[in-house]
Structure 1
Amino acid sequence: MRIKQKKENLDPKQKSIFLCPKMKSMQKKNYISLSTQNIIIVIVALSFAVSVAACVSDFQAPPQVTKEDYARAERFLGWNVSRYILNGEVTYEWIGESDRFWYLRQTDNGKEFVIVDAATAQRQPAFDHEKLAQALAQALGEDVDPKDLPFERFVFVDNERAIEVQVDTMRWHCVLGGMCREAEIRHIRRGDLVSPDGKWAAFNKGNDIWIRSMEDGAEKALTRDGEPYYGYGVATGWSQWKVRLFGSDELVAPVAIWSPDSKKLLTEKVDERDVLDLHYLQHVPEDGSVRPQLYSVRSAMPDDAHRPSVEVVVFDITRGKRTDIPLRGQSLIGSDRVWWDTDGGQVFILPQEKGEKTLRLLAIDSVTGAVKQLIEESGKTFVEAGALYWEKPDIRFLSSGEIIWYSERSNWGHLYLYDRKGKLSNQITSGNWKVREIVRVDEKKRRIYFTAGGRERGEDPYQLHLYVVNLDGSGLSLLTPEDADHEIRPNSFSPSGEYFVETYSRPDLPPVTLLRAHEGKIISTLEKADISALTAGGFQMPEPFSVLAADGKTKIYGNIFRPSTFDPKRIYPIIDVIYPGPASIVTNKTFMGALYGWVRPQCLAEIGFIVITIDGRGSPLRSKSFHDVSYNPLLYSGTPEDHIAGIRQLAKRYPYMDIDRVGIHGRSAGGYSSARAILAYPDFYKVAVSTNGIQDQLGAAPAGWHPASDGLYPGDKWDEQANASLAGNLKGKLLLAVGELDANVHPAHTMQLIDALIKATRDFDLLLLPNRTHFLDDESPYYIRKRWDYFVRHLLGAEPPAGYEVQGPDKVK
């Protein structure tokens, strides 16, 4: 006969014995074969006894989670980074138009500002820190530590004889070696949008847009016909709600863009008259009243008949002329999809198309209002203007009128050169790799500097490198060859273009900040990050890994995080931290991002888990076909099947990973995916924490969180993607956490899933946080602790330390 004993029915102590390394063969077979013949019975009994005896020596008692474990986890909260890592992120600025820059250097004793001459690599203090501290102390009326000056940035003025700094809300002018006084500032008011030449400020008065002379304060109305929900330069109701939530003055700057010559102002007339209201209820008003406060904002959902639409208007300030542009659509100002040419003669727009299957580049004559299409590209799925949807399009206009255009028409993101009439001249880059960002264009030498990933053999394809290539496609050169992710910032290059500053790192390689010549030669190592405070308290480097996707052939990538107290002889539960795309990835490729990025996987690892992040098919930054997996419907984004396949491979690779105890956590889109995972794969995922999850894409406001899948689901696909449709599948432990004032994902998402779970008579847990928004990891230490507690209790099988208080940023010195 066969006696089959399932591990799922064992209590934690029995399971810890069953999972001891010396009984892996029994774990795989999952049964004990017996024979009716005595000799076989004896042999099996003896064999079993020997295995049990061996296992007893390795017996793994239920883990004890202590306050010390939680304290170690706190080290990896974002606001604690400067306590444990020095020079992980270096702040720097080039000085004027020179090839000199200053940077902020962190030391064991504090911080200091250093000036570097890029041509000679010579460095010196930016100023006398002692004298500046004395001058600031006298101005502020309080002590100032010269090794911890109360600012992170400064600006040289008066031919570098003085600096201006911001201390709290005040700006100070400090003569080097002399006194500090309040800086003379222009009379800029809240809500002002100041012109590039500093002579004008545009602002909203009610639902109209006005301008004010910065010289004499004279005001002039540009419009007078604005009305409620149909105003000029006003933010949409959803955007205004976010401003109110985060404590900003409601007099926000108008939604507008000045021309480079300060003569014209581009703005939008926003029509929300037929848009439906979205309601929020504040149960604990901050004024102390007991009556709940209702807030209503205009905000559309994907299947609504009416959405906000805008009319584009150009005002010529000098001539007093208004030009109405014959375009209607969604607001684009502020999304980097609208910009002026250098002389203010034209405006260029990339209209947002429903489904994102077509990308058009339009040129608008700012005088006549005439609209001309320069380039159009269409496809069956996403047609995007850059590597990541929410970042600045990789499109540049040259003074010659030529256009650098980004396209994935070859299945990989590359650059193409068009002439001023919109005719293709040549392809600039090519190959099975992806351009990520245009950094700099040297028009005189007709060269373009850009970052890309996937070109260097044997490397993680997400790692960024800097390259240069001629506009005709010749002379491609790698400038940053180290096997790492290279951070190139918008201000990396010197004004002359002869030098640049960069930082390279990996999840398992601390940051190194370098000064290089434009051709890539290293001039100076500015700083190497000091992580000794981390290692002194115990620290396991994250491990980048690759596995195969569920299709058995596509390589996918991620990071593994282990506790500082890691013991390979123990068996650890696994937590999958997920964010599905299609607009972002979850696995950070830099050291600082991997440890201190917004998903903070190392925190969970520290309290007794193996934590992984992984980017499955459907996420961005790979080939177009890789990304297209998530195109309509979003339920396939990030492919949970890929996560499961990857975790199974890792568990075979590392025997200390317990494939029978897998949890998952995500927020926002990741909140959708974590709930989806435990509902769609209840036999694999045993515990889930879903935070502020978009539980139903149909309820996403404002009008969908990614336009490529906004409103394109046919018929019953909307029902299929909603997590409520799978509520009856829940077997494990599910915590739903939500901030009641979440402007990104309305709390109704969570409530509607709760309703489905109740109707299905399923048990779940809810954490509703009053007066909290979308960013619970930054707003609520209580939520952080409750999430840790949930995984400790239900996945680790232990009791968390009672009454532990996570120290928020307001309590950290």
Structure 2
Amino acid sequence: MHKSTWIGYAPLATLLLNVSVLVAQTPEAFTPSHDEIVARYKHAARMDSLTKNAVFNDRVEAHWRQDEQSFWYENILPDGSSAYVLVDAKSGKKQLFTNKAQVVAEAPGEQVQQPNRQRRWGMADFRGERVSPDQQWEAYIEEGNLFAKRLSDGEIIQFTSDGTKENPYGAVAWSPDSKYLAGYLIHPVQDSLVHFVLSAVPETTRGQLVSRPYKQPGDPFTTYDLFVFPLDKRTAVKVAAEPIDFPNAAPLLRWRYGDARYFTYEKFDRGHQRFRVIEVDSHTGTTRNVVDERTGTFIYHDRQYTHYPEERNILIRSSEKDGWRHLYLVDLISGIEKPITAGEWVVRDVVDVDARNRQIWFTAGGMNAGEDPYHIHYYRIGFDGKGLVDLTPEPGNHSVVFSPSKSYYIDTYSTVNQLPVTKLRNGKDGKEIAVLEEAVLSEAYQQSGITPPEVFVAKGRDGVTDIWGIVSKPSDYDPAKKYPVLENIYAGPHDSFVPKSFVPYSEMQSLAELGFIVVMIDGMGTANRSKAFHDICWQNIADAGLPDRILWIKALAEKYPSVDTTRVGLYGTSAGGQNTVSALLFQSHFYKAGVAACGCYDNRVDKQWWNEQWMGYPVGPHYEAQSCATVANARKLNGKLLLIVGEADSNVPPESSYRVADALIRAGKTFDFLSIPGMGHSDGGPFGRMKKRDFFVKHLLQVEPPDWNAGELPYNPDTGRERWSFQ
């Protein structure tokens, strides 16, 4: 009996033991008392102070001697003094000086700047000189019409008679051989105004109205009709091309080298779905498309790189037509286009072009397998796509500055949690000459207990694509506790935003010190990955990569059970403000609280150039469907929301925030609203950041924040600064 009883109860005993172990291993929700949270605010303020100016020897700003045999730079030491370093470029040997005058005497020189970019768009006026290149004619506009006067005898040619002061001819340019003029009949559009009221201007008793022009999606543009004016025909020849109605300036004209009868100009169609390089025959006004790229989604206007090497009828341009941003070489006479770079990686920028030696210096991300694809590396390649040289082989995010002749360059690299290293390299083959500096942390930082963010990677909504982000934990992180999550969100499609260089401390870490796990993620729909990755945003701004972000946070919770996915909040500014409200409306099953500052909540209210780029043109019903400022969408709010707006916002009109407030009120929803007098486009400044902390402490930690009016935290106890000195 005893034996059988023992056998019968043994499994139950084992089960109870396993349950008790499981219970012991399951983290408990972190729920501090009021006194504990006040102490955490004090601790966060102390960390803000201890971690300022925490990194030393993290950059080298070189001043090169004219012959490039040597250069000097300044180091700021932990005690605030300066040391001056003289470097022999060939050997990398260093000499130290304490006196700036001494080192300058050894290597006088200036800090090197990167080369300027070519200008693409002009002004509605003459291009270059009014006098022809052969000095025989002077062109001018009178009463809106174009004239040319021969300087030798005063003979006048009147090319046009239909121009007026309201619709004048302008933006006129001479051909290099002085045989042609080219210019535009301009139909100006006056932009509509937006307004805001400054409610608390000192020494006034009335609100001050501020009005300014502001183009919103769908608004008309100034248009330009292109004409050529052959001097031998003495008349205007209208170019057989559509009017230029985008962007809000006339494109520059580029004359063919060796045959000035022809010129080209660039044209983006409104809606960002077609880009052309169009050639014009100045004698006949006929045109042909040298480049004609179309897409079903968007061509990123501000990332459309074009470079026309002087005295060569070629074009170097960027395109994502094969699914990745790469460089192409175009023969402007034949129209033949050949790839310069190719592969499943992204050209980030062109640093410089050497037309004489037919070489290009560029940056790229994603070429190195196994490395963060957002890390920037530098390369050199020939116009023919051959001779690729990796100038920055070490893993990390690189920043390079070349010597004036590119014989040498200084390469500084780091990761978000690895200190910067700066090296001197040979410009020809990229070989390392010397390590110039290895960054160090201040003693106060090392003793603070703070650590830089952790990098975390998880799969996106397709189950294949890697989504990259960072994690900040409290310095007293306890794996036996379960912490609410805050996401620092900014999903603007114009770039990627998670830091890639060393971050010793940030507002994310300061918030983490209160008892949160704080994350930042680049979800699908942001830039600097493949075209397919980016295309998620097309006419779909409300998506904000939220499905990828949710999966990422859930994957983080699988690795760290201390991540509480039942208490997730988020905060953001500008596009991040819109993303925050979109998350609370359209992904309310996951996000429970949000603080949104000066968001572009309705893409019809915000600036034209940004919103039409991603939402398209014409303005269609998808704009309203994704708006956070409609009652239909406002009804979806289930979580807690704080809206912050500066009344003097000149970037996103303040009424964008007020329209959301109006929709929420009409939908019967409760929320918090903070309008800050006199403030522009901002996260709310010190006061707004204080309110953000209090909001999340109250709604995610379920504890009353400090009573500021009662003086529980009157000021930062270490610095004596104003009370809201949080980063």
What TM-score, normalized by structure 1, do the two folds share?
A: 0.69
Is the aligned partner of 1:119 residue 2:119? no
Shift in CA distance, 203/758, structure 1 to aligned 2, threshold 3 Å: closer
Other-structure match for 2:426: 517
Q: What is the CA-CA distance between 1:766 and the residue it aligns to?
A: 0.7
Shift in CA distance, 378/665, structure 1 to aligned 2, threshold 3 Å: same
CA contact (8 A) 2:216 2:608 kept: yes
Q: Deviations over 1:45-95 (max 9, x none)?
A: 978995799589978552522466456468669xx9862222334434545
Other-structure match for 1:420: 332
**CA distance, structure 2, for counterparts of residue 669 and residue 746 of structure 1:** 13
Q: Highest relative contact order (Cα 8 Å, sep 6+), 1 or 2?
A: 2
Shift in CA distance, 680/430, structure 1 to aligned 2, threshold 3 Å: same
Is the aligned partner of 1:640 residue 2:546? yes
Shift in CA distance, 97/771, structure 1 to aligned 2, threshold 3 Å: farther
Other-structure match for 2:196: 280
**CA distance, structure 2, for counterparts of residue 458 and residue 312 of structure 1:** 51
Other-structure match for 2:218: 303
CA contact (8 A) 1:583 1:706 kept: no
**CA distance, structure 2, for counterparts of residue 810 and residue 61 of structure 1:** 24
Q: What is the CA-CA distance between 1:713 and the residue it aligns to?
A: 4.8
Q: Report which stretch shifted further, 292-301 or 47-56.
A: 47-56
**CA distance, structure 1, for counterparts of residue 677 and residue 70 of structure 2:** 49
Q: Which of these residues, 690, 695, 699, is aligned with residue 794 of structure 1?
A: 699
CA contact (8 A) 1:672 1:694 kept: yes
SS at the partner of 1:455?
coil
What TM-score, normalized by structure 2, do the two folds share?
A: 0.77
**CA distance, structure 2, for counterparts of residue 373 and residue 487 of structure 1:** 38
CA contact (8 A) 1:311 1:329 kept: no
Other-structure match for 1:247: none
CA contact (8 A) 2:491 2:522 kept: yes
Q: Which of these residues, 680, 703, 718, is aligned with residue 623 of structure 2?
A: 718
2:437 aligned partner, one-letter code: E
Is the aligned partner of 1:657 residue 2:563? yes
Equivalent positions of 1:600-639 (< 5 A) are: 600-636=507-543, 638-639=544-545
Other-structure match for 2:455: 544
Q: What is the CA-CA distance between 1:601 and the residue it aligns to?
A: 2.6
**CA distance, structure 2, for counterparts of residue 708 and residue 470 of structure 1:** 33
| Structure 1 vs Structure 2 CA RMSD | 4.9
**CA distance, structure 1, for counterparts of residue 396 and residue 654 of structure 2:** 40
**CA distance, structure 2, for counterparts of residue 332 and residue 81 of structure 1:** 46
Q: Which of these residues, 346, 362, 385, is aligned with residue 473 of structure 1?
A: 385
CA contact (8 A) 1:268 1:313 kept: yes
Q: Deviations over 1:116-172 (max 9, x none)?
A: 34223244568934899xxxxxxxxxxxxxxxxxxxxxxx8x9977999xxxxxxxx
Q: Which of these residues, 653, 666, 671, is aligned with residue 577 of structure 2?
A: 671
SS at the partner of 1:699?
coil
CA contact (8 A) 1:375 1:422 kept: no
Shift in CA distance, 428/691, structure 1 to aligned 2, threshold 3 Å: same
Other-structure match for 2:299: 383
**CA distance, structure 1, for counterparts of residue 452 and residue 185 of structure 2:** 52
Other-structure match for 1:289: 204
SS at the partner of 2:204?
coil
SS at the partner of 2:402?
coil
Equivalent positions of 1:234-249 (< 5 A) are: none
- Over alpha carbons, which structure has the higher Rg? 2
Q: What is the CA-CA distance between 1:726 and the residue it aligns to?
A: 1.7
CA contact (8 A) 1:301 1:704 kept: no
Is the aligned partner of 1:727 residue 2:634? yes
CA contact (8 A) 1:73 1:604 kept: no
Other-structure match for 1:751: 658
SS at the partner of 1:673?
helix
Is the aligned partner of 1:500 residue 2:409? yes
Equivalent positions of 1:325-724 (< 5 A) are: 328-331=244-247, 350-362=266-278, 373-384=289-300, 390=302, 393=305, 395-397=307-309, 399-421=311-333, 423-488=335-400, 492-518=401-427, 519-532=429-442, 533-592=444-503, 595=505, 600-636=507-543, 638-702=544-608, 704-714=610-620, 716-724=621-629
Other-structure match for 1:783: 688
Q: What is the CA-CA distance between 1:256 and the residue it aligns to?
A: 13
Q: Report which stretch shifted further, 704-713 or 613-622.
A: 704-713
CA contact (8 A) 2:277 2:290 kept: yes
Other-structure match for 1:86: 56
CA contact (8 A) 1:558 1:614 kept: yes
Q: What is the CA-CA distance between 1:688 and the residue it aligns to?
A: 0.3
SS at the partner of 2:536?
helix
2:73 aligned partner, one-letter code: Y
Shift in CA distance, 735/222, structure 1 to aligned 2, threshold 3 Å: farther
2:660 aligned partner, one-letter code: L
CA contact (8 A) 1:449 1:467 kept: yes
CA contact (8 A) 2:484 2:565 kept: yes
**CA distance, structure 2, for counterparts of residue 340 and residue 103 of structure 1:** 41
**CA distance, structure 1, for counterparts of residue 523 and residue 214 of structure 2:** 32
CA contact (8 A) 1:407 1:415 kept: yes
Other-structure match for 1:107: 77
Identity of aligned residues (%): 31
**CA distance, structure 1, for counterparts of residue 316 and residue 449 of structure 2:** 49
1:562 aligned partner, one-letter code: K
CA contact (8 A) 1:76 1:602 kept: no
SS at the partner of 2:678?
coil
- Structure 2, unaligned runs of 5 or more: 1-8, 112-116, 130-138, 145-164, 177-181, 229-235
Q: Report which stretch shifted further, 417-426 or 747-756.
A: 417-426
Shift in CA distance, 224/589, structure 1 to aligned 2, threshold 3 Å: farther
Q: What is the CA-CA distance between 1:282 and the residue it aligns to?
A: 1.3
1:654 aligned partner, one-letter code: Y
SS at the partner of 1:497?
coil
**CA distance, structure 2, for counterparts of residue 257 and residue 614 of structure 1:** 48
Q: What is the CA-CA distance between 1:727 and the residue it aligns to?
A: 1.0
Q: Deviations over 1:235-275 (max 9, x none)?
A: xxxxxxxxxxxxxxxxxxxx999999xxxxx9999976543
2:475 aligned partner, one-letter code: S
**CA distance, structure 2, for counterparts of residue 312 and residue 784 of structure 1:** 52
Q: Deviations over 1:743-774 (max 9, x none)?
A: 11111111111111111111100111111111
- Structure 1, unaligned runs of 5 or more: 1-38, 133-155, 165-195, 197-201, 212-220, 235-254, 261-265, 315-321
**CA distance, structure 1, for counterparts of residue 475 and residue 174 of structure 2:** 52
Other-structure match for 1:172: none
Shift in CA distance, 742/621, structure 1 to aligned 2, threshold 3 Å: same
Q: Deviations over 1:655-713 (max 9, x none)?
A: 11011100011111111111010111222111101111111111112454352424345
Shift in CA distance, 437/755, structure 1 to aligned 2, threshold 3 Å: same
**CA distance, structure 1, for counterparts of residue 514 and residue 666 of structure 2:** 35
Other-structure match for 2:156: none
CA contact (8 A) 1:67 1:801 kept: no
1:520 aligned partner, one-letter code: G
1:128 aligned partner, one-letter code: N
- Equivalent pairs counted in the alignment come to 654
Q: What is the CA-CA distance between 1:611 and the residue it aligns to?
A: 1.2
**CA distance, structure 2, for counterparts of residue 341 and residue 74 of structure 1:** 62
Other-structure match for 1:192: none
Q: What is the CA-CA distance between 1:644 and the residue it aligns to?
A: 0.9
Q: What is the CA-CA distance between 1:799 and the residue it aligns to?
A: 3.4
CA contact (8 A) 1:468 1:476 kept: yes
Q: What is the CA-CA distance between 1:624 and the residue it aligns to?
A: 0.9
